[in-house]
């Protein structure tokens, strides 16, 4: 077994000489075999070995004895030891998560702290080939996301160093035999013998059937895992490039926008991965109820012929299609929904969306653009007001026969649905619309001032629609 593991380690460049390796040790056969194995090569590679062990306080006196056992073996084998106890039950209730997840989070917090404190290069785990088979089968049953099928990585970045798994090339039986041959009597966790947990069910019921057909199934699965991981690494890199090229990100609040045309021009494999990269940006941690169904809805939205449509995701995330644009945002109370305010002249009128209207009197016709409106003071009924749209709103302007619905103007100008209900509209005191900000202006106005009456000058300074 030793030569097989050394060959596997060399193939994947798992360790370098003179390194500091932390070893996660529970006291079970896998981790004890790993601890002993690394001790046998310590001198040849000039390694500093440190065993890390965690008592999760889930099995009372038994788990305390596990910790004491590991500490005693480290003393016997002259290996540095760092142990700790964590209160999984308390953390579980505090964070409202399951027991296994709570234990894992606390365990990895401890590992990360020790990697930093000891300036370690590697954190070694005793996962073996049967674990790999179990993991890939479980993921096959639970998920339709192809990137999950690459299984347990042999080596990955962690806390400024690497997590390594030298035993993925061997089986559970080989490790148990290794323990016997080297006089190691490991601790046994009774929970591993039941079939209550999903992994144990696969271990007891499924793996034996596979091994009956192929004793080396762990090698087949490991080779598959490595191939899939290499392919996935490449696809993830390309997907990241896609995201950087066609996706716009905003903070406070988080928002993502993309061009449907540019996004759809890429390979579907990259689109799927880019979609998940976007979700990883938007969610601090992915919701459990997020599934391939949401992915299907997302791509159906892109393919939909409708110019405007929306789908909802967990935790109030919404995805809106507006013509050739997709917008991901979290639903909040409408920032500028149904507001109405009198415009102070002269002065500044703050709008709920963070924008403002700066109003002043001018004796000459000032500069005008799409964000300004000018009219003769005597030609409008004061006070002017700013508000959002209402059912039946219409306006007219020079050159238009009759009037036009505000709704139709928004459609013609391709204004996104989510912006229409909070778009600022300026009216006079009779309720007549004189300025649909940034889009249309009623011609009240900018004729030369023969009577020397004042001009009203409105300037819109944008916040966030």
- Annotated ligand binding at 402? The verdict is no
What was the pLDDT predicted at 447?
Answer: 58
Place of tokens 């895992």: 225
- Annotated ligand binding at 300? The verdict is no
Sheet with strand 20-24: strands edge to edge: 80-85, 48-55, 20-24, 122-124, 161-164, 155-158
Residue 238 lies in a domain: no
What was the pLDDT predicted at 339?
Answer: 83
CATH (domain of 312) = 3.30.465.60
Residue 335 lies in a domain: no
Q: Please tell me whether residues 66 and 206 are part of one structural domain.
A: yes
- Annotated ligand binding at 194? The verdict is no
Q: Please tell me whether residues 225 and 279 are part of one structural domain.
A: no
Give the DSSP letter of residue 438.
T
Q: Please tell me whether residues 6 and 76 are part of one structural domain.
A: yes
CA atoms within 13 A on the CB side of 459: 12
Q: Please tell me whether residues 52 and 121 are part of one structural domain.
A: yes
Q: Please tell me whether residues 56 and 181 are part of one structural domain.
A: yes
Residue 139 lies in a domain: yes
- Annotated ligand binding at 29? The verdict is yes
Q: Please tell me whether residues 276 and 400 are part of one structural domain.
A: no
- Annotated ligand binding at 53? The verdict is no
Inter-residue contact 34 to 170 (CB < 8 Å): no
CATH (domain of 441) = 3.50.40.10
Query: Which DSSP string do the residues of 72-137 spell out, in sequence order?
Result: HHHHHHT-EEEEEE--HHHHHHHHT--HHHHHHHHHHHHHHHHHHHTT-SEEE----HHHHHHHHH
- Annotated ligand binding at 346? The verdict is no
pLDDT beneath 50, residues of the chain: 194-195, 333-336, 465
What was the pLDDT predicted at 437?
Answer: 93
Last residue within a domain, chosen from 301, 330, 359: 330
Q: Retrieve residue 91's tokens.
A: 């953390």
Residue 96 lies in a domain: yes
Residue 105 lies in a domain: yes
What was the pLDDT predicted at 190?
Answer: 65
What was the pLDDT predicted at 465?
Answer: 45
Domain that holds residue 324: 251-330
* SS3 assignment, position 6: helix
Residue 45 lies in a domain: yes
Q: Please tell me whether residues 189 and 291 are part of one structural domain.
A: no
Q: Please tell me whether residues 126 and 23 are part of one structural domain.
A: yes
Residue 447 lies in a domain: yes
User: What element of type H or E holds 56?
Assistant: none
Q: Please tell me whether residues 274 and 416 are part of one structural domain.
A: no
What was the pLDDT predicted at 103?
Answer: 94
Last residue within a domain, chosen from 267, 295, 330: 330
Last residue within a domain, chosen from 199, 230, 261: 230
**Count of domains forming the chain:** 3
């Amino acid at each position: 077994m030793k030569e097989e593991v050394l060959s596997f380690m060399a193939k994947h460049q798992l360790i370098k000489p003179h390194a500091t390796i932390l070893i996660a040790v529970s006291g079970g056969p896998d981790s004890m075999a790993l601890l002993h194995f690394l001790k046998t090569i310590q001198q040849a590679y000039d390694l500093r070995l440190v065993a890390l062990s965690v008592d999760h306080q889930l099995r009372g006196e038994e788990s305390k004895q596990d910790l004491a056992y590991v500490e005693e073996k480290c003393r016997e084998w002259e290996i540095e030891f760092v142990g700790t106890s964590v209160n999984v039950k308390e953390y579980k209730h505090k964070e409202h998560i399951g027991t296994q997840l709570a234990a894992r989070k606390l365990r990895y917090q401890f590992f990360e702290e020790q990697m930093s404190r000891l300036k370690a290069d590697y954190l070694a785990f005793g996962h073996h080939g049967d674990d790999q088979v179990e993991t890939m089968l479980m993921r096959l049953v639970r998920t339709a996301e192809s990137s999950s099928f690459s299984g347990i990585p042999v080596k990955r970045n962690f806390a400024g160093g690497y997590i390594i798994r030298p035993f993925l090339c061997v089986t559970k039986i080989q490790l148990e035999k290794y323990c016997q041959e080297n006089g190691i009597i490991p601790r046994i966790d009774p929970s591993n013998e039941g079939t209550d947990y999903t992994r144990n069910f696969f271990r007891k019921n499924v793996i034996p059937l596979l091994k009956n057909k192929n004793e080396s199934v762990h090698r087949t699965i490991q080779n598959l895992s490595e191939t899939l991981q290499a392919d996935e690494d490449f696809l993830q890199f390309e997907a990241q490039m896609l995201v950087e090229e066609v996706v716009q990100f905003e903070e406070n609040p988080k928002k993502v926008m993309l061009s449907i045309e540019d996004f759809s021009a890429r390979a579907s494999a990259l689109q799927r991965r880019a979609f998940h990269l976007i979700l990883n940006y938007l969610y601090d941690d992915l919701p459990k109820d997020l599934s391939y169904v949401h992915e299907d809805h997302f791509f159906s939205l892109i393919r939909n012929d409708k110019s405007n449509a929306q789908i909802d995701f967990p935790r109030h995330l919404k995805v809106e299609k507006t013509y050739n644009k997709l917008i991901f945002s979290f639903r909040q109370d409408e920032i500028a929904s149904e507001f109405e305010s009198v415009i102070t002249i002269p002065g500044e009128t703050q709008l709920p969306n963070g924008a403002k209207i700066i109003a002043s009197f001018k004796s000459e016709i000032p500069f005008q653009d799409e964000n300004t409106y000018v009219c003769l003071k005597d030609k409008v009924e004061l006070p002017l007001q700013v508000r959002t749209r209402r059912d039946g709103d219409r306006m007219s302007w020079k050159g238009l026969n009759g009037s036009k619905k505000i709704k139709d103007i928004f459609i013609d100008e391709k204004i996104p649905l989510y912006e229409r209900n909070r778009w600022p509209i300026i009216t006079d005191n009779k309720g007549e619309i004189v300025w649909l900000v940034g889009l249309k202006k009623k011609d009240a106005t900018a004729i030369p001032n023969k009577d020397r009456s004042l001009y009203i000058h409105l300037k819109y300074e944008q916040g966030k629609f």
